[in-house]
Each structure stands twice: as C-alpha cells, then as structure tokens.
Amino acid sequence: MPIVLIGPMGSGKSRVGHRLAASAGAPFIDTDQRIVERYGPIEEIFEREGEEYFRIIEREVVAEALHEEAVISLGGGAVLHPDTRADLADLQVVWLRVSPEAVAPRLAGGNRPLIAEGGIGAWTAILEQREPIYAELADLDIDTSRRSVARIVDDITGRFGGAA
C-alpha cells in the first residue's frame, strides 16, 4: 500500500520521501516532479495556463501515482481536489507540518508561483486554508520544523512498518 506525504510547500515532503522510499526499498514518486517532466516548469504552467489548468493536470498525475506501490509526495495543493481526498481515504497518509519560522529559510530564493509575490505571509494564508484538509486526511502528523529527516523516517516506519 502506498505511503502518501502531504503538507505545505517547504515541509520536507521530497527530502523525507526520498529517504523513506530508500529505507523501505520502494520507489519514490514526487507528483510535482512528474508534472514538470511532462508539462514543463510549474511556474510556467501557472503563467501560461493559470492555476485552474494546473489543478486539472495535477489531478491526473496524482490519480495515476496513487495506484502505484510507492512512497508518494503530493504537491501542497493536490488535496484541494475532492477526488484526490476520496482516493486518500483508504491509503496511509502522513501530514508533514512545519512552522512559518522554519519554512522561511527553506523557501528563500525559490520561485513557487503561489507565494512569489506575497512571501511568508502568502504561505501562511495558504496553510490556514489547507490545514483543516491536511488534518482530516492524515493518519499521522509530524512536525518537521526541528526534526532530522532520519528521525521523521523512523517515526513513519514505526507507524506503518515501512512498507510502501
């Protein structure tokens, strides 16, 4: 059964996902990376086509990934789609939380489309909107603000046995 990592941008989903997959001997799928491989840079998709189009292709990529036996990292907003939320109901879902103070240096110098103009204030506003959804979907939540990747992986494998 897949292990799915959800949470806001900068929470460590990709770093934790790579390490967790290696630990479990499973493939790692980063749905944002799959989007980039198929459609080009996310910021360019937002500029050319807008967020609505991005969410359509994101849903397609996520739906495909959730059928694979893997550790899967979803983009921060993937949980906004009701079909994705329904798909996650029967899977092992880990919410990686992070504080605004810890995420600020992680996102510095990045080009994330939804926060490019508004900085950490925009990130916080997005998190406040999505937090109830993350909480509803999660079987396990872990604050990544001050935890090492190794410890986070240990927490996840302790809960789910490391099987992806």
Residues contacting residue 14 through CB under 8 Å, at least 6 positions apart: 30, 33, 73
Give the per-residue pLDDT at 116: 54
Give the position of tokens 């810890």: 102
- Residue 10 assigned ligand-binding role: yes
> CA torsion sign, 50 to 42 to 104 to 4?
positive
Give the per-residue pLDDT at 34: 98
> CA separation (Å) from 77 to 94, 129, 133?
15, 10, 10
- Rounded to whole angstroms, the Cα distance separating 127 from 137 reads 15
Has residue 43 got a pLDDT over 90?
A: no
- Residue 97 assigned ligand-binding role: no
- Number of domains comprising the chain: 1
pLDDT tens for residues 66-85?
A: 999 999 999 999 999 999 99
- Residue 11 assigned ligand-binding role: yes
| Residue 85 near residue 79 (C-beta atoms within 8 A) | yes
- Residue 162 assigned ligand-binding role: no
Q: What is the SS3 assignment for 11?
A: coil
What's the pLDDT band for 114 if we cut at 50, 70, 90?
Answer: very low
Q: What is the mean pLDDT of residues 19-25?
A: 95
- Residue 7 assigned ligand-binding role: no
- Residue 73 assigned ligand-binding role: no
- Rounded to whole angstroms, the Cα distance separating 19 from 16 reads 5
- Residue 106 assigned ligand-binding role: no
The helix (H) or strand (E) run that includes residue 140 is strand 140-143
Is the pTM here over 0.85, yes or no?
yes
Q: What is the SS3 assignment for 133?
A: helix
Domain hosting 133: range is 3-160
pLDDT tens for residues 87-100?
A: 999 999 999 999 88
The CATH number of residue 41's host domain is: 3.40.50.300
Tokens of 18: 């790579």
- Rounded to whole angstroms, the Cα distance separating 87 from 161 reads 21
